Amino acid sequence: MKRHRAILLSFIGCVWLCSGVYLALLLSEERERAHAQSTGYALRFYGSGVSAPGLDRVLIPIDAPERPADIGATDFTVEFWMRALPGENNGVARCNENDGWIYGNVIFDRDIFGAGDYGDFGISLGGGRLVFGASVGSAGTTICSSERVDDGTWRHVAAVRTLSGAMRLYVDGQLVSSAQSVSGDASYRNGRATNYPADPFIVLGAEKHDAGAQYPSFSGWLDELRLSNIARYSTAFLRPTAPFIGDAYTVALYPFDEGPAGPCKGAILDVSGASGGPSNGWCAYDGSPAGPVYVTDTPFNQPTPTATRTPIATATSTATATSDPTSTATHTPTATPPFTSTHTPTYTATATNTGAPTATAEHTWTPTPTHTPVPTFTNMPTPTATSGGAIPPFPSETPGGEAPPGQTSTPASTATPTPTPCPTHTPTTTAISNATPTQAPEGDSAWTLFLPLIHSNSPCVSITR
């Protein structure tokens, strides 16, 4: 790749020389066993590498000696899981341009400084989209997805290149971009001499040469990196549902499961079992914020959502039975004609029952308590209201919205009103003799007829429960 600038080469060379010594110490068998502690981790990068040269990244050596992770001499596939949050990666890649991928937030960098020799390739995020570029000598191209992937979810990414120059990019098993580019060997030439210490490495999470702010680092999560020496995908496929398992075509496999959670300061293990391997690497931890770190948020071990259930069963019944019977019997006999008998009984019985039972049970059932208040009517009534009461919280969910087993509501009691016999009363009839009609007042055509007078006592009002 052509990058015409010299940026603190002596300083960077020193950093890489020291890193090489450190790597030799870390990759001993004893250290490897110590870091193979557990499973279920991923790596979280913070994009700090662009301002902290040599840091917040993973380094995997591919030469001196030659390692299986040096792919590109045959068809190859680079695939991994990534997760990025909106707004954390603002690099803008240059699609359909040689080396255009390097301007995005670099996720996978297998670049060389300058043009010529065999070739190079890399993967980045540009404007939130996945970007894959490959070159042979001074020719190549960059392909970009049309869909943004910086949505905070885990996405499976697969970049495929063949020796004939065909390039394909898949996201979650769907082909999102393809191109026919330059053919030929894009591997790192064995024993190649260079003045740039980072050349014979694969670097994850940052642009390996720290050439400037225009080549930003990746901020996000990375897991399950697999390198294969075949073009694994030629059509759409179902995205993986489990961690990768090495096969005959797997030349390097990095589950990033060394752990423990927290700063990654040790070896990154290749568990592929490929002949000539392993192609182990190591973490260069630091920066501001400091990364990378091991986290337990992975594509296959994401935190289980917490379902908070707060069952509420409330039965509120307010029943009011009001009875104000009023019985008035007025009997005013007049013995002097015209005889008048006025009987005006007035009976008022009012029963008001305001019951507003409510029952709410979250997630399962909504009990509706049955309340049948039966008011009592007497001359001095006593209201009575019976409700099944509040339903206690349920022990577990019951499909279909039914009440849990054993839960009942007690209906209000009902009594049949029993009438109380009224006292015996015998009306008295007084016959009026010589009853004669009288002429109606002048101008009135009606006649008034005097009838026998009937005496009656007041009506009896007594209803008991």
Domain ranges of the chain: 9-295
Cα–Cα distance, 142 to 94 (Å, whole number): 7
What's the mean pLDDT in 130-155? 96
User: Looking at residue 115, what is its pLDDT?
Assistant: 80
pTM, rounded to two decimals: 0.62
User: What is the distance, to the nearest Å, from the Cα of residue 138 to the centroid of all Cα atoms in its chain?
Assistant: 46
**Mean per-residue pLDDT, 233-241:** 96
Spatial distance between the Cα atoms of 376 and 145, rounded to a whole number of angstroms: 79
Q: Work out the pLDDT band at 18, boundaries 50, 70, 90.
A: very low
For the cut 90, the answer to whether the pLDDT of residue 316 exceeds it is no
Residue carrying structure tokens 């940052």: 206
Residue 434 has pLDDT above 60, yes or no: no
Rounded percentage of the chain residues whose pLDDT exceeds 70: 56
How far is Cα 158 from Cα 174, in angstroms, rounded to an integer? 9
pLDDT in tens, 146-156: 999 999 999 99
Q: Are the C-beta atoms of residues 351 and 385 closer than 8 Å to each other?
A: no
d(C-alpha 449, C-alpha 219), whole Å: 111
**Residue 6, pLDDT score:** 45
Query: Contact at 8 Å (CB) between 268 and 254?
Result: yes
Distance from C-alpha of 46 to C-alpha of 57, rounded to nearest angstrom: 9
Q: How confident is the model at residue 270 (pLDDT cuts 50, 70, 90)?
A: very high
Its sign, for the CA torsion 215, 220, 222, 228, is: negative
Contacts of 342 by beta carbon, 8 Å cutoff, 6+ apart: 330, 331, 332
* CATH entry 2.102.10.10 includes domain 9-295: no
**Does the pLDDT of residue 404 top 60, yes or no?**
no
Show the tokens assigned to 167: 């390039």
Is the pLDDT assigned to residue 101 strictly greater than 60?
yes
Q: What is the mean pLDDT of residues 237-264?
A: 96
Tokens of 283: 């973490």
Q: Which residues pair with 343 in a beta bridge?
A: 331
- Reference 100, options 81, 123, 79; nearest CA is 123
Question: Would the pLDDT of 288 be above 70?
Answer: yes
